[in-house]
Amino acid sequence: MSAFKIKQQKHENFVSLVFLIIKICFSLLAVISLIKLGYSSKVRLTRLREIKGSYSYEKYRFDLLKNRFDDLFSAEGEQRFMKDQDQMISRDIIRVIWR
């Protein structure tokens, strides 16, 4: 009987070792997955910040252009527009103004 118990004990030790190795592998897999998930989240947040910055800049430019466009239809808007055009054209360019 002692030979049988020794064999059974070796079998139990082997099974325990296999399960321990499986647990270690799953733990490593979980840790690696969490690291990859964290890195992906960091990349995504960085991209979202860049997109938010671009959106804010374009919205600011749009608001400026919208205000200039709205000024065209206000009182004496055409005259202000013509003054702005004179400032935007460099001095060495021939200007033709249709009236």
- The model's pLDDT over 22-44, given as tens digits with 9 standing for 90+, comes to 999 999 999 999 999 999 999 99
- 88 pLDDT exceeds 60? no
The conformational region for residue 73 under phi > 0 = left, psi -120 to 50 = alpha, else beta, is alpha
pTM for this predicted structure: 0.54
What is the rounded radius of gyration, in angstroms, for the C-alpha atoms of the chain?
A: 37
Arithmetic mean of pLDDT over the chain? 86
What would the two tokens of residue 46 be? Answer: 């960085």
Distance CA(46)–CA(40), nearest Å, equals 10
Mean pLDDT calculated for residue range 42-69: 94
pLDDT given at position 31: 98
- Three-state SS annotation for 28-77: HHHHHHHHHHHHHHHHHHHHHHHHHHHHHHHHHHHHHHHHHHHHHCCCCH
- Chain centroid to CA 31: 24
